[in-house]
Amino acid sequence: MGKETMIEDFNSTNHLNWVAINDGVMGGISESNFQIETDQTGVFSGRVSLQNNGGFASVRASLRESVSGNFEKIVIRVKGDGKTYSLRIRTDQNFDGVAYACSFSTIKDEWTEHEFLPTEFVPTFRGRTLSNVLPLNNLDISHVGFLISEKQSGSFELIIDWIKITRL
């Protein structure tokens, strides 16, 4: 196993700045927020609405320093609500650029760890899969985030314990 780099562990003095971005950018009315708890977890929660062509809620954070490519895997530890989420990685500073996404399912009220290989991430832009894009492993990671979509309307809650990368 290679060297691990902690991306986020919600340390009260050194956590990332998380920002919610919902379907309101397209006229939807979904709502979400992100809160850092005293137990050093992050909580992404809210309500997804399919009204007004909506249907997604997301949160993301810029890394303090980009993490260089050639990593083995990204690992997260989360407690979910039984819904499916997407871990999203961005490789440049563009607000609306390419996102590399990988979906994972949660088990209601249980902590689970999910490992993602670089080859499992799909390059997307505004919900569409892209082709002719560099693979994630060759790029520097500058943002990390989570998304709930896929017509999963209603309340949601994802508790994140940590996010880390294992380098080759």
Break the chain into its structural domains and give their ranges.
4-167
Estimate to the nearest angstrom the gap between the alpha carbon of 64 and the chain centroid. 16
Q: What CA–CA distance (Å, rounded) separates 123 from 155?
A: 27
**In a structure prediction context, what are the per-residue pLDDT tens digits for the chain, which is 168 residues long?**
578 989 999 987 778 999 999 998 788 999 999 999 999 999 999 999 999 988 999 999 999 888 887 889 999 999 999 999 999 999 887 767 899 999 999 999 999 999 999 999 999 987 788 988 888 877 789 999 999 999 999 999 999 999 999 987
> Which architecture, in CATH terms, is 4-167?
Sandwich (2.60)
Q: What CA–CA distance (Å, rounded) separates 36 from 40?
A: 7
Query: The whole model's pTM is what?
Result: 0.93
